[in-house]
Structure 1
Amino acid sequence: MQQTIVVPQRDLRPFLTLMATAAAAVFAWLAVSTELGYSPAVYDPAVTAWAVQARHALVTAVAWPLTHLGGTLGLTLLTLTMCAFLLLRGHWRRALVLAGAMLGSSLLTVVLKLVFARARPSTALLLGEPASSWSFPSGHSFNTGVFVGVLAGFALVSTASPTRKVLATVAACLAATAVGLSRVYLAYHWLTDVLAGWAIALVWLCVVGIVALTVLRPRQE
């Protein structure tokens, strides 16, 4: 049975604007800390060293699939699959929102990395092949957060039960957290890169939400 999109009785745009502002402030704080070497970026090397020392074969076996799913190829396939599924179910507005959100976050990832041009952790600590892009912010964390966040948002504005809405939100948070931490564990990113990825993901999700509420004004599908 299809879920319908429910137009909120209250205007959520002021709340989303406030949340986006707060998340943007956190991102800016993290960016400044990485540029100037202030806290929390000063603890990045210690966190990475701890993650390297804590490596275990079983954890590594889990970290690799997670990091691949949060990569460009993994998220592209997931996005195309989910958009196709939504279109087949007649939810073209949801497919449009998801596709637009992911395209925008992908472009923002490239721009932000070029702007901050932060070096990644030493390749001596790395598990796997070196990455060719800059480190800040973590694209895996950013784009995964947007993908699962949009899907959770669909559940939140649907007629699903409160329990399912909570489960969708928790699942989205856990997925984004797992992918982000896998990047630190494998030494592809500093912790502040991942935190910044999550922060900018929240900013972008709020922007997407505001645009969807303002322009699309989804009706029952």
Structure 2
Amino acid sequence: MARPEPDAEGDAAGAASRVEVGTGAAIGLTGLVGAVVFSLLMIASASVYEAVAEDDGVAGLDRPVLDAMIRLRTPLSETVATAFTELGTTVPMVVIGIFLISALYLTHRRRTIIVLMVVAAAGSITFTIVGKALVGRSRPPLVDAVPPYEASFSFPSGHTLNSTVVAGMLAYLVVWLAARVWQRACAVVGAALWALAMGLSRVFLGHHWLTDVVFAWLFGLAWLALLITVHQLLLRRQARRPAA
């Protein structure tokens, strides 16, 4: 009795179907994980905002933490912290950002690099401006701050929010594009240390309350989680499209 000929077309269709199902599952899982992370970060940032608005909860740590920072100050540490925190102002951040993004673009030649960074930074700046205007919180007293003094509203910390978003997006782009594990690890650790140090410097110098900084960290990470999730979903959707 002759054996039936293998159905090459059927096998190919089955393989394509399995790939389709696997890709669909990956898209669903990516969306779910991204939504959960984004939601948790937004809930956490909202709780910090509520504590500030009602002057209770974690906001009760603002004064004690600032007092502790004041006790740690020395002339040298004030000079170093002031020089570092100046890197978080608009002009240095733009220069640093353009330099690093240009290096990434010239290496990988993907327009998405520029698009993601522009959207991330634009959102961060917008959130900072709107947040300060809506909350209208006063900064710590000038007697507790290290010059040069700042006059804008305190909540949220723009230095911290923008540093978190820009450094975080740069780290994500490296993780996405870099071939070597050590490059990815250095990008993530470097971004985390930059955002952490920038936020702490703002409290150390008396330019912000602790909750201004904590909110900026959480909200900045939430914004990053949203952008990264959307980008990953688009990548998986493109991978799902059949070749022409």
Under a length normalisation based on structure 2, what TM-score does the superposition of the two structures give?
A: 0.80
Q: Does residue 112 of structure 1 match 2:128? A: no
Q: Identity percentage over the alignment?
A: 29
Q: How far has the Cα of 1:213 moved from its partner?
A: 3.0
Aligned counterpart in structure 2 of residue 122 of structure 1, from 141, 144, 149: 141
Q: What is the number of residues matched between the two proteins?
A: 213
Under a length normalisation based on structure 1, what TM-score does the superposition of the two structures give?
A: 0.88
Call closer, same or farther: CA 1:77–1:195 in 2, change over 3 Å.
Answer: same
Aligned counterpart in structure 1 of residue 61 of structure 2, from 39, 43, 47: 43
Q: Match of 1:98?
A: 117
Question: Does 1 or 2 have the higher relative contact order (CA < 8 Å, sep 6+)?
Answer: 1
Q: How far has the Cα of 1:117 moved from its partner?
A: 1.1
Equivalent positions of 1:42-191 (< 5 A) are 42-89=60-107, 90-191=109-210
Runs of at least 4 residues off by over 4 Å: 214-220
Q: How far has the Cα of 1:61 moved from its partner?
A: 2.8
RMSD: 2.2
2:132 is paired with a residue whose SS is: helix
Q: Does residue 24 of structure 1 match 2:19? A: no
* Contact persistence 2:66–2:203 (CA under 8 A): yes
* Contact persistence 1:79–1:99 (CA under 8 A): no
- Following the alignment from structure 1 to structure 2, what is the Cα–Cα distance between the partners of residues 149 and 142? 10
Call closer, same or farther: CA 1:146–1:218 in 2, change over 3 Å.
Answer: farther
- Following the alignment from structure 1 to structure 2, what is the Cα–Cα distance between the partners of residues 88 and 165? 18
User: Which structure has more helix as a fraction of its residues?
Assistant: 2
Aligned counterpart in structure 2 of residue 10 of structure 1, from 18, 26, 34: 26
Call closer, same or farther: CA 1:93–1:108 in 2, change over 3 Å.
Answer: same
Post-superposition Cα deviations, 1:37-74, rounded to whole Å, max 9, x if no partner, equal: 11210121111111111102332232122211112222
- Following the alignment from structure 1 to structure 2, what is the Cα–Cα distance between the partners of residues 174 and 31? 24
> Aligned partner of 1:153: which letter?
Y
* Contact persistence 1:83–1:99 (CA under 8 A): no
* Contact persistence 2:168–2:191 (CA under 8 A): yes
- Following the alignment from structure 1 to structure 2, what is the Cα–Cα distance between the partners of residues 148 and 58? 26
- Following the alignment from structure 1 to structure 2, what is the Cα–Cα distance between the partners of residues 218 and 85? 27
- Following the alignment from structure 1 to structure 2, what is the Cα–Cα distance between the partners of residues 190 and 212? 33
* Contact persistence 2:171–2:187 (CA under 8 A): yes
- Following the alignment from structure 2 to structure 1, what is the Cα–Cα distance between the partners of residues 178 and 214? 32
Q: How far has the Cα of 1:181 moved from its partner?
A: 0.4
Say which is worse superposed, 207-216 or 48-57, in terms of deviation: 207-216
1:119 is paired with a residue whose SS is: coil
Q: Which protein shows a greater Rg?
A: 2
Unaligned stretches of 5+ residues in structure 1: 1-6
> Aligned partner of 1:202: which letter?
L
- Following the alignment from structure 1 to structure 2, what is the Cα–Cα distance between the partners of residues 29 and 14? 23
Q: Match of 1:3?
A: none
Q: How far has the Cα of 1:214 moved from its partner?
A: 4.2
2:26 is paired with a residue whose SS is: coil
- Following the alignment from structure 1 to structure 2, what is the Cα–Cα distance between the partners of residues 164 and 45? 39
Say which is worse superposed, 210-219 or 192-201, in terms of deviation: 210-219
- Following the alignment from structure 2 to structure 1, what is the Cα–Cα distance between the partners of residues 236 and 98? 23
